[in-house]
């Protein structure tokens, strides 16, 4: 497991070429309506959720939200007003059992100009297929080994899977840089002075259906951080059960054995390919 073969590298490259999958054809598009015309598709609804949403909106309408035979319509308004309507919608879906792992933490949906159009409970983003954002940090040593965290078995998503040394969603009031530094301290005990050394290296757009859930659409902001040989990560927030330090070849093998979260697998594959060129 100490050698990166040509076939292994080719498999990682193929993974990175297929990061943004289209929504399945039976998923209902969620359209943002501006000035009485469709502005853009901002989400996708699992067909298993449609009948419940139709019934609840018919019995108890929600301002700015409607559902038709072939799409869900969200009417654009001021961010606060739109957020209030979408929160009502999310609470309805939560009562129906369609939003597990409620966090009481907001994500923001940004338009093409980077402006916040609305904010909503982060657990609802997958249910509706709204685009979210996250930071992922590759922690590596001079010997070109990678530090990886193993997610706690109590996590609502991907329990027990391998993850980057730190990773997490960008909350509604954060920048990617601020989020990366926060996650490094909370998940791996990296002090602020060391976290200032993170290097932004790229971004990956991940899109995939989640069986039994919704549609995962997320922009992953990627950073690299070189760690001293004597640094040992320490978790502070209870979301990581432990850490391992492994070679790039072993990391690649574990990616192909499906031991990683889907997001971390792509971020780690990207790191391996960049370091072996």
* pTM of the complete model: 0.93
Tokens of 141: 């040593």
What pLDDT, on the 0 to 100 scale, is given for residue 3?
82
pLDDT at residue 1 in the model: 52
User: What residue segments make up the domains of the chain, in order of their start?
Assistant: 6-21+132-275
Residue 93 has pLDDT above 90, yes or no: yes
Could you tell me which CATH number the domain at 6-21+132-275 has?
Answer: 3.90.79.10
pLDDT at 133 over 60: yes
**pLDDT the model gives residue 217:** 97
Please choose, from the candidates 15, 13, 2, 11, the residue with its C-alpha nearest in 3D space to the C-alpha of residue 277.
Answer: 13
> pLDDT tens for residues 205-246?
999 999 888 999 999 999 999 999 999 999 999 989 999 999
pLDDT at 2: 64
- What's the token pair of residue 135? 């930071």
Cα four-point dihedral sign 140, 141, 146, 148: negative
pLDDT at residue 212, rounded to an integer: 84
Give the Å distances, CA to CA, from 81 to 57, 78, 123.
18, 5, 20
pLDDT tens for each residue of 97-111: 999 989 999 999 999
**Confidence at residue 154, expressed as pLDDT on a 0 to 100 scale:** 86
The residues, any chain, with a CB within 8 Å of residue 169's CB and separated by 6 or more, are 105, 107, 122, 132, 133, 134, 179
Per-residue model confidence (pLDDT) at position 195: 97
- Mean pLDDT across the chain, nearest whole number? 95
Q: Where is 83: in which H helix or E strand?
A: helix 79-95
Identify the burial level of 120 via C-beta atoms within 10 angstroms of its C-beta, where 0-12 means exposed, 13-18 middle and 19 or more buried.
buried
Q: How far apart are the first and last CA of the chain?
A: 19
Band (14; pLDDT cuts 50, 70, 90):
very high
Distance in angstroms (rounded) separating the CA atoms of residues 103 and 106: 8
In the predicted model, is pLDDT for residue 271 greater than 90?
yes
What's the mean pLDDT in 71-98?
Answer: 97
Q: Mean pLDDT across the stretch 149-168?
A: 92
Within 10 angstroms of residue 274's Cβ, the number of other Cβ atoms is 13
Tell me the average pLDDT across 195-206: 97
User: What is the predicted pLDDT for the residue at 38?
Assistant: 72
Share above pLDDT 70 across residues of the chain, in percent, rounded to a whole number = 99
- Average pLDDT on 121-133 reads 98
């Amino acid at each position: 497991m100490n050698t990166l073969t040509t076939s292994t590298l080719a498999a990682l490259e193929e993974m990175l070429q297929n990061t943004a999958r289209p929504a399945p054809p039976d998923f209902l598009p969620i359209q943002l309506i501006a000035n009485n015309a469709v502005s853009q598709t901002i989400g996708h609804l699992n067909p298993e959720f449609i009948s419940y949403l139709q019934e609840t909106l018919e019995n108890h309408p929600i301002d700015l939200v409607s559902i038709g035979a072939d799409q869900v319509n969200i009417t654009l308004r001021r961010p606060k007003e739109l957020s209030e309507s979408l929160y009502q919608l999310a609470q309805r879906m939560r009562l129906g059992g369609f939003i597990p792992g409620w966090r009481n933490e907001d994500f923001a949906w940004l338009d093409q100009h980077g402006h916040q159009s609305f904010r909503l409970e982060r657990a609802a983003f997958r249910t509706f297929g709204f685009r979210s954002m996250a930071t992922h940090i590759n922690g590596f040593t001079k010997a070109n080994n990678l530090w990886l965290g193993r997610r706690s078995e109590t996590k609502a998503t991907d329990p027990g899977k391998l993850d980057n040394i730190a990773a997490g969603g960008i909350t509604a009031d954060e920048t990617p840089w601020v989020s990366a530094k926060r996650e490094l301290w909370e998940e791996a005990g990296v002090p602020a002075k060391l976290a200032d050394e993170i290097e932004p290296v790229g971004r990956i757009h991940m899109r995939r259906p989640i069986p039994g859930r919704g549609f995962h659409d997320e922009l992953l902001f990627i950073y690299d951080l070189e760690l001293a040989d004597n640094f040992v990560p320490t978790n502070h927030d209870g979301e990581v059960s432990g850490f391992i330090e492994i070679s790039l070849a072993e990391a690649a093998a574990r990616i192909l054995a499906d031991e990683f979260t889907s997001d971390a697998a792509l971020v780690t594959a990207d790191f391996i390919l960049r370091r072996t060129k």
